[in-house]
Chain A
Amino acid sequence: MTKSDKRGTFSVTRRTFTAGAAAAAASLALPMRHIHAAGALKVGVLLPRSGPQAGIGQDCQRGVDVALPILKELGYPDMEIISGDTETNVEIARAQAEKLINEGVQLLVGAFDSGQTTAIAQVAEQKGIPLVINIAASPAITEQGYKFVFRNFPNAPKILGDAFTNQKELFAATGATPKTAVLLHVNDTFGKAMQGGIGALMPKFDVPYKLVEQIAYDPKARDLSVEISKAKATGAEALLVVSRLNDAILLTRELVKQRWNPMGVLSMGPGWYEDQYIKTLGKLSDDPVSFVPWQDYNKPLTKVVQEALAKAHPDRAMNTNHTYTFEALMIAADAYKRAGSTDPNALADALRATNITDNISAGPGIMFNEKGQNDKLLNVAIQNRDGKHVVVAPKSAANADPIWPMRPLDQRG
């Protein structure tokens, strides 16, 4: 059976739609479901491939692109992928889910963003089509009592909790524990949510350092010299950051300019590990530690996926987007293999019994609790090292010893 990516295939539904209002009543009455090839599971992959989240959606798509040949090699049954672009829009996400289901998909995968994922989840739940969430961190998604929604991605409190656990492990392993830290965070929805979460969870996790100051900055800031001056003036030993790519670059440059060498940078979000950060800053990009859902480099399958990605996209390092999107498809294929049927109910039953241990993300494997959440996932601490990423905590997923305190930024040639 041929595995095919049906992005771009002009479907009957679309033709019917294109025919438009002129032929509406008659043509729209026609049955819209495709007669699909027996044997292949039709999977609808919904991602924000255009709009504000286009970069991330397209990055997730790279995980889809490499998944099929690898899964075939692993002996999983055939899947036919039908892609839909949510355009970073909740309404479009819902309509696209309806469209894909109408085109006959038997399982949905998506959709990176919590709002779009929730809209898709409703359609999936109402129509009894299983949805495997690749990335979406809102805790509420798996608290709705859904029967057909499965998430192999940690929710926001789990990400933060693991970050503090990994920080303590990092400090214990190196014997260098900061007593104080200053929090610099981007002043947008994400930054504020993380700031709130950090404040709420720090006491619970008995974090060894004290936050001496919290400094917010504008997400569109072009200059962060004042913020770094202010942070440096606090005398804090470590710098805790919640940022995005551009501001991560600006902050690093200011650290160098102002000759401030904190014990380390602890990043609780994106930016500091991204390809563009590493490419832009070169040696200066080494050593910040980011706490993220990530792949376990020690797992054999990770190497396979890493090599496939390197071959297909030599300029991009494997990351969260690839890992969890790949795994979502792996989960779908595994469920199909065990269900032996494309019947959505049988697939949902198989998904509930998922137990994959030869996966790629950190943690013991993929299994879902009664709410459809994989609560066994582990988030890791990654460190940039010579333009690559290494995992430094937890020990179970580490492939390198941490460099902590970080090497002085102003002595890197």
Chain B
Amino acid sequence: MNRLFEGLPARAFLLLAILAAALLVAPWLVNDYLLSVLIIVLYFAYVGQAWNLMIGFAGQLSLGHALFVGIGAYTSAAIFVHFGIGPWATVFIAVLASVLAGSIIGYLGFRFSIRGVYFALLTIAFAEFTRIMVDHTEWLGSTQGLFLPVANRESIDLLNLRGSPMMFYYVILGMTVAALVLCRLLLNSKLGYYWQAIREDQDSAQAYGVNVFRYKMIAVAISSGLTGIAGVFYAFYYNNLFPETTFATSRSIEMILGTVVGGVGTLFGPIVGAFFLTPLGELLTALTDDIGLDGIKPFFWGICVAGIVLFRPSGLWPWIAGLLGLDKPAGGEGK
């Protein structure tokens, strides 16, 4: 517990408490539309956190994280559809499958010293051929899609993850908080320091005796496993999976944009980014509807994102943290 809160200034505690309270009561205050937007926000905050662990902490760029979402989603959904086994039992299989896929990519990449954009290309390639494989697998619904039976909105079946959006909201909120806590603990652990050393200068880290291959593999495994859990959530919330959309590179980009905008390598960057980008999209939808010009929203959205990248290249969170005085830790890591 000490490690979790170590170095946090008092006002950070206060802000966290306010944020936690707001998120806890939000479903009781907002309408269904805003609840669904909040679920999307938290989903992207969660997957952004998982991706951030790999690139932000360990410095390994992945542009194919949709692969792990897809593997988690298809594994749990297929087992549920064909055998009726709920997600709490299959989430372990889904995580295992995602970790296995991540480990294969990691092994190939790190064993053969594939770095940077070339490693990113490897992740894209795996996502692509997994998509093609699913396209041709009847058991997974192939191109026709895999459908989970629709849930009754009024009932809550937590065991089978069937129920109202409010239930899904609290599930994804719990996942996001858990991911945040895990990342905080990892970042302040010996493992986290090794990752940061590798991120800053891999060759120097290796020269100092850090087992680079091992720690990079651990980063990929944890990141892919966490993302696989997001896949389980995705499958049971949306209840339909199509390989073309689930494994698309555009999905991977969507997943990482929040973190890029929020601040790569920071703990709150993925959360801030998700809370900024998704509502920005909805706001622009509302505003551009007035113009009546279809497709104008991505144009404005792109301008906003480009503006942030240009004027706040470290992301929004370091800037906000500076404004709120949260970047002056009492001691230890203050991100």
Chain A residues packing against B (C-beta within 8 Å): 7-11, 13-14, 17-18, 20-21, 24-25, 28-29, 32, 49-51, 54, 57-58, 61, 85, 87, 90-92, 94-95, 98-99, 101-102, 114-115, 118-119, 121-122, 125-127, 138-141, 143-146, 156, 189-190, 192-193, 196
Contact = CB atoms under 8 A, between A and B. Distances in A.
A25 B287 CA distance: 22
A28 B29 CA distance: 6
B283 A85 contact: no
A138 B145 contact: yes
B143 A189 contact: yes
B149 interface: yes
Contacts of A94: 36, 238
B245 interface: yes
Contacts of B147: 118, 140-141, 143-144
B166 interface: no
Given A91-B238, A122-B239, A7 B292 contact: yes
B294 A126 contact: no
A145 B136 CA distance: 26
Contacts of B31: 13, 28, 32, 102
B243 interface: yes
B240 A118 contact: yes
A297 to B, nearest CB: 29
Contacts of A125: 150
User: Looking at chain A's contact residues, is the secondary structure mostly helix, strand, loop, or mixed?
Assistant: helix
Interface string B24-43: 01000111111111001000
A144 B150 contact: yes
Contact of A118 (B145, B151, B244, B298): B145
Contacts of A189: 135, 143, 243-244
Nearest to B283: A18
15 contacts: A7-B289, A24-B22, A50-B294, A87-B297, A90-B245, A91-B238, A98-B35, A115-B145, A122-B150, A140-B145, A143-B147, A144-B147, A190-B143, A192-B143, A193-B144
A17 B238 contact: no
Contacts of B40: 91, 95
B298 A50 contact: yes
Interface in B22-73: 22, 25, 29-37, 40
Interface string B270-313: 00000000010111011101111011111000000000000000
A177 B249 CA distance: 45
Contacts of A99: 33
A126 B153 CA distance: 5
Contacts of B25: 25
B144 A156 contact: yes
A122 B30 CA distance: 20
B297 A50 contact: yes
Contacts of B297: 50, 85, 87
A12 to B, nearest CB: 11
B154 to A, nearest CB: 9
Given A49-B295, A118-B147, 12 more contacts: A10-B286, A18-B286, A50-B298, A85-B297, A90-B240, A95-B37, A102-B33, A114-B145, A118-B239, A126-B150, A126-B151, A127-B32
Interface of B: 22, 25, 29-37, 40, 135-136, 141-145, 147, 149-153, 238-240, 242-245, 279, 281-283, 285-287, 289-292, 294-298
Contact of A115 (B149, B242, B283, B289): B242
Contacts of A115: 145, 240, 242, 245
A98 to B, nearest CB: 4
B12 to A, nearest CB: 19
A28 B294 contact: no
A114 B242 contact: yes
Contacts of B296: 50
A101 B286 CA distance: 16
Given A32-B33, A156-B144, A85 B242 contact: no
B20 to A, nearest CB: 14
Contact of B149 (A17, A141, A144, A196): A144
B151 to A, nearest CB: 7
A25 B150 contact: no
Contacts of B242: 114-115
B19 to A, nearest CB: 11
A192 B153 CA distance: 36
> Which among B37, B283, B285 has the highest number of chain A CB atoms within 10 Å?
B285
Given A144-B150, A192-B135, A193-B144, A95 B33 contact: yes
A136 to B, nearest CB: 11
A257 to B, nearest CB: 32
A348 B291 CA distance: 34
B240 A119 contact: yes
B294 A17 contact: no
A96 to B, nearest CB: 8
A246 B307 CA distance: 35
Contacts of B153: 126-127
A146 B150 contact: yes
Contact of B282 (A9, A17, A126): A17
A102 B31 CA distance: 7
